[in-house]
Amino acid sequence: MTRKCNNSSSLIRKKRLKKMKLTDNEKRDAVRFIEEGKPLPEKYRFLLFDESKQVELTWNGKSDEITNVVLPFQIIEHVDEPRTETKKLAQDSFDFTSGRQTAGWTNKLIWGDNKYILSSLKNGPMRDEIEKNGGIKLIYIDPPFDVGADFSMDVEIGESTYEKKPNVLEHIAYRDTWGKGQDSFMAMLYERIKLMFDLLSDDGSLVIHCDFRFNHHIKSMLNEVFGVDNFINEIIWYYPDKFPSKSKVLQRNYDVLIHFSKNKNNYKSNEIFEKKDNPTKRALRKRVGGKTIDLLDENGQKTWVTYEEKRIDNVWRIPRTIQNQIYPTQKPEKILENLLNMITNENDIVCDFFVGSGTTAAVAEKLGRKWICSDLGKFGIHTTRKRLINVQRELKKDGKDYRAFEILNLGKYQRQHFIYDGKNERDELKQQERIQKENDFKSLILEAYKATEVQGFNTLHGKKGFEFVSIGPVNQALSRNHVEEVLNECIKNNITSVDILAFEFEMGWDRTLQEEAKDKGIRLSYKQIPVDVFDKRAVQKGEVIFYDIAYIEFKSIVKKNMLSIELTDFAVFYNEGNLNINEELQAGKSKIVVESGDLVEKRKDKDGNITENILTKNWHDWIDYWSVDFDYESKPEVIKFKKEDGSIEEVWTGNFVFENEWQSFRTRDDKKLELISSEKQFLNGKTKVAVKVVDIFGNDTIKVMEVKI
């Protein structure tokens, strides 16, 4: 019995199916599945498409759709150690008075979700700059393969150590998005690898560093994206110094680096050599009359040559132990040295979109490569910044070239980018569910803040007493753009007081908009949303504490026409780890928590009484790094947009780039922090000084002050 189709769409589907090599039963069943909204059985993939992939890795939720949004890159900071050399260096062009780079390629360190970074690099105006510099020759990534891992880190505060949990954005990415098992991780990586493939130059390569849990999955995925023929090598990193285990399973003393090229006939490959453990001595020989004979010297004796080096093979014996290791998963620089020397040449662009502690950027800088690196965590970006400044200082000390680098944000985040995601959303129900989930979460935040919801506004979501409340983007950092929209809505509706709540703030966050708001008669306050808001019990009990952003104080020291800056105070207001501490802490145990900007050790005795010991003794214990821009408004921040006709439009954001002219920071070897900057000469009567402080958790704050000289 055949089913009668009463609508035109069903007839069209039937006509299309008739053209395919299907039996009548298969055609009938396919139409029935489509009309009932059910997925087609797996066999139809091979019946409906002429060139089906015969071997393919599949997982739940696999999709060929990729993000295509283009978000503008905002330059937050320009880092170029001042220099006095007069010879022409790799900077291409620089100002001899200050020694700062003024033209040519600057390396890029980008904070944000690498999915949006990759999409914006691929489709946006920076792609033109990349292509003009030869394109991307190597992308190396070392993703967090342990999807169930805890991405906490130990942070030193004064004489104590605190276990810092991931921030909210890292929670969302690692735990809520990537950490739901292998399927979610594979979906995350698949989309990014497809973007990387499109971004690579025709002679470029991708190298993925992975371990035993995902080797086979990653290889299959790369076969699909790059093509089986473009597989180059599987490199084994063998580390002989791993501490032996007592497991029944044979100890795994290696990781794997999988190397694919975009075009096997075109990719770069340089021979590199390593020292042999035992030099070998061989007799030299030559071909004569079709025979191979010994090569004799003038005395008729064999000639010998000693080989102390050999061409590197695909097993790299490199110790795992690293001095001053920052991350548990940090890799030795030797691995990156081998890769860069083998696959790239000087001045080539290399990329790492899971940069972590900055190993790729550091090695690229030392070897004279251009680089683009990114990370989702602020702490990773901050760690890389310090590491690169140290590399600059060492290169400068040795009289070698180095390039400036920029720290960038993905600016002007729009909420629709995270609801719509630049993809063709075929399931409207999913889109509605996503919007509803965001609205429910905002309601939870308002409840935790003890505010009531209000309607009829675009950026104002609640009211607490006489103050209105605005909640910044749930999925991303609060931008200046959002704050400007809030102020415009306040002016339009004669609102004079507003609290803005956010999980994260853009890098380079400053308080200038608060001063502008005050001039317009509006009291503007920023509050950090704590991670405790995820605990519904704490919300219901009213125990969630929202805290203010950090506070900086500094003073100018003027001697004639010389200016230096002294940092005089820094305050944070964090609360972390102390929720339900009275109930959860066991008798006889202690725990270090952050409470109102102090590091506090709480100990419970056998009777259940809790005593407290404040561990932070000085205000500067919270500072990991601070820097000075002596002439803050000298470099306008310009963002680029690609217009529909392909031309590039440049727009001034109204902000300025922080030019890092002096900095002091702690390292594991040297924990001392200078509190007075070096001097700078000024010939005019005044300047605007910006001071940036980065706390031990990687969060940065800027304060700007006008100074008369």
**Helix, strand, coil in percent for the chain, rounding step 5:** 30, 30, 40
Residue 142 has pLDDT above 80, yes or no: yes
Give the pLDDT score at 83.
42
Across 376-380, 491-495, 516-520, 588-592, the highest mean pLDDT is recorded for 491-495
Are 498 and 469 spatial neighbours (Cβ–Cβ below 8 Å)? yes
Residue 336 or residue 400, greater confidence: 336
Give the pLDDT score at 308.
75
Residue 542 has pLDDT above 70, yes or no: yes
| Residue 655 pLDDT class (50, 70, 90 cuts) | confident
Lowest mean pLDDT among 165-169, 189-193, 558-562, 648-652: 165-169
Tens of pLDDT, residues 174-201: 655 666 677 778 888 999 999 999 999 9
DSSP string, 632-653: GGGSEEEEEEE-TTS-EEEEEE
Q: Which residues contact 97 (CB under 8 A, 6 or more apart)?
A: none
In the predicted model, what is the mean pLDDT of residues 381-398? 91
In the predicted model, what is the mean pLDDT of residues 643-664? 87
| Residue 91 pLDDT class (50, 70, 90 cuts) | very low
Residue 570 has pLDDT above 90, yes or no: yes
Are 72 and 112 spatial neighbours (Cβ–Cβ below 8 Å)? no
SS (H, E, C) 149-182: CCCCEEEEECCEEEEECCCHHHHHHHHHHHCCCH
What does pTM read for this prediction?
0.80
Q: Which residues contact 551 (CB under 8 A, 6 or more apart)?
A: 569, 570, 571, 572, 701
Give the pLDDT score at 366.
96
Spatial CA neighbour of 357 closest among 322, 392, 393: 322
Residue 537 to residues 402, 432, 579, Cα–Cα distance (Å): 53, 27, 10
Residue 568 or residue 274, greater confidence: 568
Across 75-84, 249-258, 532-541, 627-636, the highest mean pLDDT is recorded for 627-636
